Structure 1
Amino acid sequence: MNTLRLRFANGERDDLVLGAGVHAVGQDNDGHPCLLDDSHDARLQISIDRRGIWLQLREQSQVMHVNGRPVRRMAMLRAGDVLHLDGVDLTLVGARPGPAPATAANDPPSARAVLRAVGGPHHGRCFDLDHPCVVGSRPEADLCIAEPGIPDQHSRLEPHSDGVSFRTLGASGGIEVNGHRLDEGLLMAGDQVVFNASHRFVLEAPRAMAPPEPVVQEAAVEWTPAEAGPQRSPLMASLRRIPWLLLAALLMAGALALLLLYGVR
């Protein structure tokens, strides 16, 4: 898994580096968020593994916000989310998208991708990306974002066999992908795309467009049986167990006979 970072909105402090594992987040002497070695003083903890990124508040902690929504106990995070804690905004920065293909896609993509809205007025809707799409403020746009600061043609999304490319059109201010502000790049499954700070989308696609996972080489283990005497066949092992079964049956029969003779008077 790629290393994540909690980046201060104004860049006034160094990023908080988050690798795989559990991280305790508290406050330093100046009241700013920081990573703690002692989890007893933590305000919250962030757990990162192959299953995802989870935020958990301590019981004594006040309510915090993720992308403007209150969190009281636990929340699942994505790269590109904005955490608001004690008046400080922290962006969870993930993997930087790769470069966009230099040429347009001639063949139709082998896997269907959709852009699912997870924040903003389009929340809950899905937009098909089986053809080139234009994002802009015009009602005729494939993805209409009618807000100040969004030009008529803001950007263009185009499906490819290995992802979805994005390019801004003119002076549009760029697009935020996983916490990075870019003018172009290649989206992969799971990437979070943000337009104009409040319109949030996640690219959903089959594994064909998923980012490659690191391959863990495991050493081959050769099992060598310990030295032992001649192996017995299953038949001989069964025959050796028969006398014990007969003895157990005889003892049970004797106990029942004694119970019948002397147990009832």
Structure 2
Amino acid sequence: MRLTFPNGEHAAVLVEHGQVGVGSAPGGGTSVAVPGLAPLHAVFASGRRGYWLTVPAGARVVLNARPVQRLAWLRPGDLVCLDTVQIRIESDTPPPAPGMARGPLQASPLRQGLRGLNGNWFGHCRPLSGGPLLLGSGSACDLRFDAPGVLDRHAVLEPIEGGGWLLRRLAGTGLLRVNGHALSEVELSAGDQIELGEQRLLLESPGLPPPARSERAAPPPSSSEPEAEPVPVPRDLGGIYLLIAAAAALAAALTAFFVYAPRG
């Protein structure tokens, strides 16, 4: 998971297995310091079960325009707001270019659809069939969105051979992101999060897990996208401390037995 700051408050941060605290005061669980936040404003974590966000009591955190009270699961493409500081969640590497397999080919699922994650589309799912499908805010579009930043003819979904969809940006100035990465054309897979302007969508394929992405080196960072800096990840030392405490208690008990036990 990669944390990027669209407004430049901090360099991009790579979160590997473990957790990273974001706040205004270094130390005390905060490893990424950003002025203007609570001392520890939020904790981003990555593990075998995925990505998640924990929020201390009283901290103001919004995920995709919805407030978070304690805990929220994250996916690449999410936008997290810590007060006025925006943090975009990106996948470790961009989706592969069209024609580059993400993994073993899979049969086309019986159903595929786009589910809205915000705005008027929130909670609604539109089944995908036929095609090509025009996406935008215009009246001639097959899928219409009224969110800010969505252009009249923003993008097109084109079916590809063997199942699946190719998403292609039409308007030169329109924003298109997949899993947090700005792209002009991408072959979609189940679980991908799409951004058209401020509209967020999730490609769903019930019964089909997201395919494993192919193991390949990440492209070199461009001048406009600096390389993410890894941060130290705190380890869980609770087990070690318990073992030390148990050993100390056992040593004290043995000492008391041999010193104070009655002698025959």
Using the size of structure 1 for normalisation, the TM-score is 0.65
Partner of 1:175: 176
Query: Cα offset for 1:8?
Result: 0.7
Question: Which residue in the other structure is 1:99 paired with?
Answer: 97
Q: How does 1:5-154 map to 2 (within 5 A)?
A: 5-28=2-25, 34-35=31-32, 42-59=40-57, 61-94=58-91, 95-101=93-99, 109=108, 111-132=110-131, 133-146=133-146, 149-154=149-154
* Structure 1 residues without counterparts, runs of 5 or longer: 103-107, 216-265
> What is the Cα-based RMSD across aligned positions, in Å?
2.8
Using the TM superposition, give the Cα deviation of residue 42 of structure 1 relative to its aligned residue in structure 2, in angstroms: 3.4
Post-superposition CA distance 1:183-222 (Å, at most 9, x none): 111111111111112x11111115657221689xxxxxxx
How far is the alpha carbon of 1:111 from its aligned partner?
Answer: 4.6
Change over 3 Å in CA distance of 1:123–1:91 after alignment to 2: same
- Rounded Cα–Cα distance in structure 2 between residues aligned with 1:18 and 1:154: 32
SS in 1 for 2:120: coil
Partners of 1:79 and 1:147 in 2: how far apart? 20
Aligned residues with identical type, % of pairs: 33
Larger fraction in strand: 1
Alpha-carbon offset, residue 51 of structure 1: 2.2
Hey, which bits of structure 1, 4+ residues long, moved more than 6 A?
none
Deviation at 1:97, TM superposition (A): 1.5
Unpaired segments of 5 or more residues in structure 2? 34-38, 101-106, 216-264
Aligned mates of 1:57, 1:179 — CA distance in 2 = 22
| Cα distance in structure 1, aligned partners of 2:207 and 2:109 | 11
Residues 150 and 172, structure 1, Cα contact 8 Å, conserved in 2 = no
CA 1:52/1:127 → structure 2, altered by over 3 Å: closer, same or farther?
A: same
Higher gyration radius (CA): 1
* One-letter identity of the residue aligned with 1:48: S
- Distance change in 2, residues 1:109/1:178 (3 Å): same
1:177 shift after superposition: 1.1
What pairs up with 1:106-255 in 2 under 5 angstroms? 109=108, 111-132=110-131, 133-146=133-146, 149-160=149-160, 161=162, 163-197=164-198, 199-206=199-206, 210-212=210-212
| Distance in 1 between residues matched to 2:116 and 2:31, nearest whole Å | 31
Cα distance in 2, alignment partners of residues 82 and 62 from structure 1: 16
Q: Which has the higher contact order (CA 8 A, sep 6+)?
A: 2
How far did residue 28 of structure 1 move?
4.6
How many residue pairs match? The answer is 198
- Shift in CA distance, 98/62, structure 1 to aligned 2, threshold 3 Å: same
